[in-house]
Amino acid sequence: MTAGRDDLELTEVGPYIWALRLPIPWEDGHVNSFLLPDGKAVDVVDCGMKAEDSLELIHAAVARLGGPGGHVRRLVVTHIHPDHYGGAGELTRRSGAELYLHRLEVPMVHPRYMEIDQLVEEVGRYLLVHGVPEQEANFMKNASRGLRDFVTPAEPALPLEGTELLQLGKRRLRVEWTPGHSPGHVCLYDVDAGFLFSGDQLLPESSPNIGLHPQSTPNPLDDYLRGLARIVELAPALVLPAHGLPFADAAGRVEQMVDHHRRRKLGMLELLSNGEMNGWQVATAVWGMRSNLIDMRMALQEGLAHLQSLSVEGRVEKRASPAAVTWRRSS
C-alpha cells in the first residue's frame, strides 16, 4: 500500500544510514528520523510524532530499505519530546520493535502524557512563584495538554544510562548522555565512522530550548554546555541533527552556541544591575512580551536556566521562599 509512495524524502547520509524527513507542526516543519538497515531488519533513531501520515512514511521507508518482510527491529529515542518519541507506542506495537530510551526520561512520561493534572498544578505553582501574573499562569500551566494528542507512550525494553554500545543496522553506536534540553537526552556516536546523531543537542539552524522547570535537571544550562564540550572532544566527522541538514563543523557550531549563552548570561547580569527581579520580569525584559503565552513559558524557563547557572557560579543571589523566588546581583 505504502511501499511505492513517491513522496518519501529518504536520503542516504552515510554508509547504511538513511535520513527520513517527517512532518511536524513545529520547528521548521520537519523532524529527521534515521533508518539503519541490516537485511530485512531496520533500526530507527527517533520516530516522529503520533500521526497516521508520519507513521505511514516510516513504514514505507522500512519497506523500501528492508524489502519484502522488512520490519523495524530497534527504536532508539533521543528524548521524549513529541516530535521524537510521539510515534513510539504505535511503532513498537505494530512492529514488535524494542524501544531504547534513557532512564531519566522514563519517569517523565506518565505525568506528562498520561495523568497530567498533578504536573499541571505543579507547573502552575512554579509559574506563580517565579512572578507570572495569575491569569497568564492559569493559561500557561495548561499549555502542554494538547501535546498528548501527538504521543502514544511506550515502555523501553532497555533503559539507557549512557556509554552503552548498541548495534543499530550495520553500525556500532555509543550512547552519549547529554542532559539539558531534556534530563535524559542522548546523542549516538558511530564509533567507526565518527558520525554523531545529535538529536536536539546540536542543530544547524536553531538553539534548542534549555529550560529550568519542575521536570528539568536542577542546572540544565551547565549540563547542556558540558554535553557540548563532550561533542567537541568526540570531534565527529559529521553531525546528523534531528532538525535541518547534516553538517561537518561541530566545533564551530558548538562555539556559536557557547557564545550565545555566555552573552545571554552577561545581558541578564547587566539587567540585574537595576535591582532585584523575578524570573518573569527578566524574561519579559530579555524577550519582550509576546502574544503567544506558550512562547512566553519557554522564554521564562530558558531565562531561569540562565539565572540558575549565574547563581551556581555565585554571580547572582537566588532568594527563595514558598511565595516567591527572586534574583539579584551578588555584591
* Sign, CA torsion 43/223/192/237: positive
- Residue 76: all three cell numbers together: 532508539
User: Measured at CB, which residue is nearest to Zn ion?
Assistant: 81
Q: Which of residues 76-95 bind Zn ion (CB under 5 A)?
A: 81
Confirm or reject binding of residue 64 to Zn ion (CB under 5 A): no
Alpha-carbon span 249 to 235, nearest angstrom: 9
Give every strand in the sheet of 186-190, ordered side by side: 165-168, 171-177, 186-190, 195-199, 238-241
Give how far the C-alpha of residue 315 lies from the chain's centroid of Cα atoms, to the nearest Å. 28
Candidates 23-31, 69-77, 197-205, 316-324; binding stretch for Zn ion (CB under 5 A):
197-205
> Is the CB of 128 or the CB of 160 nearer to Zn ion?
160
200 binds Zn ion (CB under 5 A): yes
Comparing CB distances to Zn ion, the nearer of 176 and 200 is: 200
How many residues contact Zn ion, by CB under 5 A?
2
Of the candidates 42, 43, 34, the one whose C-alpha atom is nearest the C-alpha of residue 66 is 42
Rounded least distance, CB 215 to Zn ion, Å: 13
Nearest in space to 97 (alpha carbons), one of 30, 147, 43, 54: 43
Cα-based distances in Å from 296 to 29, 132, 141, 181, 299: 21, 10, 11, 17, 5
Minimum distance, C-beta of residue 170 to Zn ion, in the bound complex (Å): 28
x-or-dash string of contact with Zn ion, 131-170, rule CB under 5 A: ----------------------------------------
CB nearer to Zn ion: give 81 or 261: 81
The nearest distance, CB 179 to Zn ion, in angstroms, is 12
Q: Quick one: 198 or 309, whose CB is closer to Zn ion? A: 198
Q: Is 265 in the site for Zn ion (CB under 5 A)?
A: no
Joined together, the cell numbers standing for residue 318 give 537566588
CB of 315 to Zn ion, least distance (A): 28
DSSP secondary structure letter of residue 230: H
The amino acid at 331:
S
Q: Which is nearer to Zn ion, 201 or 281 (CB)?
A: 201
Beta bridge partners of 22: 31
Shortest gap between Cβ of 182 and Zn ion (angstroms)?
Answer: 6
Q: Give contact residues for Zn ion (rule: CB under 5 A).
A: 81, 200
